Amino acid sequence: MKRRNFIKKASATGLGLVAISSTLISCDSDSKSSEKKVVPSILESIRPLVIATWKTDLAVETAAAVLEKGGSALDAVEQGCRIEEANEQGQSVGKGGLPDRDGNVTLDACIMDSKGNYGAVLGVKNIKHVISVARKVMEDTPHVMLVAEGAEQFAVSKGFEREDLLTEASKKAWEKWKETSEYKPIINIENHDTIGMLAIDKDGNISGACTTSGLAYKMAGRVGDSPIIGGGLFVDNEIGGASATGLGEEVLKTVGSFLIVELMRQGKSPQEACEEAIGRIVNKPGKDFKDFQVGYIAVNKQGKTGAYSIHEWFSYNIYKDKENKNIKSDYFNKA
Ligand code: ASP
């Protein structure tokens, strides 16, 4: 009962809809709405589409602009994520990200294309656009993951410039944290700003990307879900894609994004799949989830979207059509 009381109706706060013209198609998060067989004319109308975690308007607009010009979903998600990586105000992604408990900013990112290719970098210092480094890993190496110094060296060899990622504001926040906090990573429930982004291009192909500085004041060497295939991101061009934000340890333990795509494969709508993935976390026996957040976004091949989170302060940003501007989504946790 206690757990049931805790789970409450959650509404999408700060839902941002980017209005750039595209043909109208229903863009709801209603888990009860039935999936319809998609006919080619409808398929035309769902493209292009971008969905991203949090209120990342400029990132979504940038990705949408790439798609509107006929660019690929892969280019769109990379360009969109780069906006947040360069945004020094955002303290959970790229430059200005909050450091680990030793004061080092380390970044994680991954990308997946519509052919099922994947590239990732983990624990990278001094390089801002790790999403682009992840893409280079995917496209220019025989590997899928590079970590720490190896990833940094690889980035430099590809022309990326080293820079100090710790801004004055993040340094101050870290110094303040050191004064008042125990010397252990905290679960900062209000600072999950990882950007996960999924896009469908005009050809109907799906790609996704995810980039983060991880948990604020994490232990040195800690890596979360964001750069891990099936955790922070998964794309199957036949089915759809999913991405996660929040406490990466919980996402990883339930292989959240892969789970969502597999649930969609079995016939669930993106909304139903996101809800079930959250359920897998909160319904574990004795799970106390009041101190952490996990949020998912998903899209299927038909252009239906879903989003769901443990707590109400989760938002996502979608570009699809101007008619749906200001649509309000309500999320209900059914656990
Ligand atoms: N998912 C990220 C991680 O666990 C954190 C976040 O979303 O802010 O590294």
For residue range 48-88, list pLDDT tens digits in order: 899 998 878 889 889 999 998 999 999 999 999 999 999 98
Residue 137 has φ and ψ, to the nearest 5°, of: -60, -45
Ligand 1, from 53, 107, 192, 233: best to mutate by most atoms within 8 Å of Cβ? 192
pLDDT at 180: 79
Q: Smallest Cα–Cα separation from 241: which of 223, 255, 259? A: 259
Q: How far apart are CA 56 and CA 94, in angstroms?
A: 14
Q: Whose CA is nearest to atom 8 of ligand 1?
A: 192
Beta carbons within 10 angstroms of residue 242's beta carbon: 33
Residue ranges of domains in the chain? 17-321
Residue 300 in this model has a pLDDT that exceeds 80: yes
- The protein residue with its alpha carbon nearest to ligand 1, atom 5, reads 214
Arithmetic mean of pLDDT over the chain: 81
| Structural domain 17-321, CATH architecture | 4-Layer Sandwich (3.60)
The answer, yes or no, to whether residue 273 has pLDDT greater than 50, is: yes
* Ligand 1 binding pocket includes 211 (Cβ within 6 Å): no
Confidence of residue 326 (pLDDT cuts 50, 70, 90): very low
Higher pLDDT: 222 or 56? It is 222
**Is the CB of 295 inside a 6 Å radius of any atom of ligand 1?**
no
CA–CA dist 211, 93 (Å, integer)? 6
Does residue 214 line the site of ligand 1, with CB under 6 A? yes
| Range scoring the smallest mean pLDDT among 9-13, 47-51, 166-170, 203-207 | 9-13
Mean pLDDT, residues 231-259 taken together: 97
The atom number, within ligand 1, closest to the CA of 247 reads 4
Q: Decide whether any atom of ligand 1 lies within 6 Å of the 61 Cβ.
A: no
What's the sign of the alpha-carbon dihedral 113, 119, 124, 129? negative
